[in-house]
Structure 1
C-alpha cells in the first residue's frame, strides 16, 4: 500500500467525520444524544468525527436513518471499505489493532501478520494467489507489512504471541526466507516489542490448537476477539464469548514453553532452516 494511497484514504475518513459532525450539529444533537440513538457511546461518535475509529456498516446505516441523510454515510462507508487493501471481513479488525492497548494472539500454523517480513508475506500471498499479478501481490505485501508500524510507535500495545512449533518448521518461501523470518521474531522479542511463546510438538494435542484467535483490549471499550475461517472472519465482543476465548488462550499459554526457552527454540529452528538453504 503506497503511503499516498493511505493518506488519501485517511483524508476521506476525515471528511466522513467532518460531515458527521456538521450534520449532527445541524439537528442540534450532542455526541451523546446521537450515540444513544445509534446504540454506541458518545465517545465513539467523537472518535468517528475525528477519524480515529471507523464505524461498522450497521452504525453508518443507523446514522443515516437518525440524521435522515438519504444513505450518504452508508454509500461513503461502502466506497472507503471497497477501496481499502484488506478484505472487508478483516478491515475492521485492522482498525481495532491500531486502537488496542493489548493484543494477545495465537497462530497454529503461520507467523502472525504483525511479525512477518516482506519476503515471508510475499511467499504466502504468491502461494495463495497463483494467478494474481505481481502488482496485486506487492500491494498485499505492502498492506500487511504497513500494519506493523503499531509496534514501532511509542504508544505501541502490549503484544503477546503464542505460536505452535509447526509455524516455525514449515519452510514458507524456502530456508533462507524462513531463517530471516525467525530472526525477525527473535529481534522483536529482544527489543521488548513482543513476548513470544511456542507450543512444542512435545506438548501433544490441545482442543484449541487449530483455531487462530486474536484478543484485543482497549482503554475506552470492551475487549474484542477476532477469529478467522476460510475466506471469512468474525469480530466477537459478547462478554461471555470473550471470557471463553480468554480462558482458551490461558490454556494455550499454559501448554507453551516459557519465553526464554521459546526464543532458544526459535533460534535453533532458524539455524536448521539456514543449513537447509546452504545445502540446497
Structure 2
C-alpha cells in the first residue's frame, strides 16, 4: 500500500521553520499567545497553529509580526522562503517528510547515481533530460534542491547511509566525462569520510531483482521502516509491511552480489586512471 496521508503534512513542512521563528521571537519578548495574537490580527488558536506550522501564515499577518518585532524585513524574508517552498515538487516534499526522523537510509538506483549522492552538474543533466517541457531555470532549481538535501540530512540527524550502485552506472555517460569524473570523486570522498558505506555491484552480475526501479529503505527509531520508490514523475511512499519486506529482501540480495567497501572504492578509483 502506498501512503498518501503524508501529502498534506508535507505541503506544510516548509511553514514549520517560519512558525518556529515566530515562536522564538514571541518567547524572547516574554509574551504568550494571548498577548501577541491581537498584534498579529488573529486569534490565539490560529497563532498557535501558525507557530506549529500546521497553518499557512498570510502575508498581512507576517507583515504585522515583522513590524511588531522590528526585524527589519528578516521575518518577511523567511515568510517568502516558506511561500516559495510550496512550489517544491511532490517528490521533494515526500522525501523531506519521510527522512526527517531517519536513522538509516539504504539507497539503490538501477540506472543512475542515487539522488542524495548526486553533484549539481550530474543532477542538472538528469532533470534536463527527464523534463523536456521545463525551463532551464526550473532544471537548475530542481538540481540545487536535490543536492542540498544531503547536507540538510547530515545537519539534522546524520543518518547512516548505504548505497548499492551498479558498475555500469559508475561507468555511464551523464553529461560530459568531466561530470562523471567529478561525480565519482564525490562518491569516493563521501565513502572516505565514513558518512557513506558504498558498495558496487560488478558488471555481468546475473541478479535482476533491482531492475524494476529505484528505491530507498528508510529506517527510524520512531516506527517501522518505509520505502520511497521513485518513478519518472516523482515517487511514492510505501508503508505496507509486506511491500516493505519485499524491497528489503531485494536489497539484501543486492548486497550479497556487491563488492566489499574497500574493493568498491578501489574499483571506482581505477575508472579515472
Q: TM-score, normalising length from structure 1?
A: 0.67
The unaligned stretches of length 5 or more in structure 1 are 1-6, 27-47, 55-78, 272-280
Distance 1:129 1:231, change over 3 A: closer
What are the superposed Cα offsets for residues 130-153 of structure 1, whole Å, 9 maximum, x if unpaired? 453332122111111111114542
Distance 1:219 1:231, change over 3 A: same
- The CA distance in 1 between the partners of 2:19 and 2:238, in whole Å, is 24
Pick from 255, 258, 266: which aligns with 1:256? 258
Pick from 66, 82, 86: which aligns with 1:83? 86
Correspondence 1:224 to 2:226: yes
Q: CA deviation at 1:240?
A: 2.1
What are the superposed Cα offsets for residues 188-228 of structure 1, whole Å, 9 maximum, x if unpaired? 00000100111111322322334211000112122111112
Q: Is contact 1:93–1:226 with CA below 8 Å preserved after alignment? A: yes
| Residues 124-273 of structure 1 aligned to structure 2 (within 5 Å) | 124-150=126-152, 152-153=154-155, 155-271=157-273
Q: Is contact 2:101–2:222 with CA below 8 Å preserved after alignment? A: no
Partner of 2:108: 106
Distance 1:241 1:49, change over 3 A: farther
Q: How many residues end up aligned between the 2 structures?
A: 217
Q: Is contact 2:14–2:86 with CA below 8 Å preserved after alignment? A: no
Q: Which has the higher contact order (CA 8 A, sep 6+)?
A: 2
Partner of 1:61: none
| Residues 116-127 of structure 1 aligned to structure 2 (within 5 Å) | 116-127=118-129
Q: CA deviation at 1:164?
A: 1.0
Instruction: Between 90-99 and 240-249, report the one with greater CA deviation.
Output: 90-99
Q: Give RMSD over aligned pairs.
A: 3.4
Q: Is contact 1:107–1:163 with CA below 8 Å preserved after alignment? A: yes
- The CA distance in 1 between the partners of 2:92 and 2:104, in whole Å, is 18
- The CA distance in 2 between the partners of 1:165 and 1:49, in whole Å, is 47
Q: CA deviation at 1:90?
A: 4.5
Q: Is contact 2:127–2:139 with CA below 8 Å preserved after alignment? A: yes
- Provide the secondary structure at the position in 1 that maps to 2:105: strand
- The CA distance in 2 between the partners of 1:207 and 1:134, in whole Å, is 35
- The CA distance in 2 between the partners of 1:218 and 1:237, in whole Å, is 13
Partner of 1:22: 45
- The CA distance in 2 between the partners of 1:196 and 1:260, in whole Å, is 9
Q: CA deviation at 1:12?
A: 5.1
Distance 1:210 1:82, change over 3 A: same
Distance 1:205 1:248, change over 3 A: closer
- The CA distance in 2 between the partners of 1:214 and 1:81, in whole Å, is 27
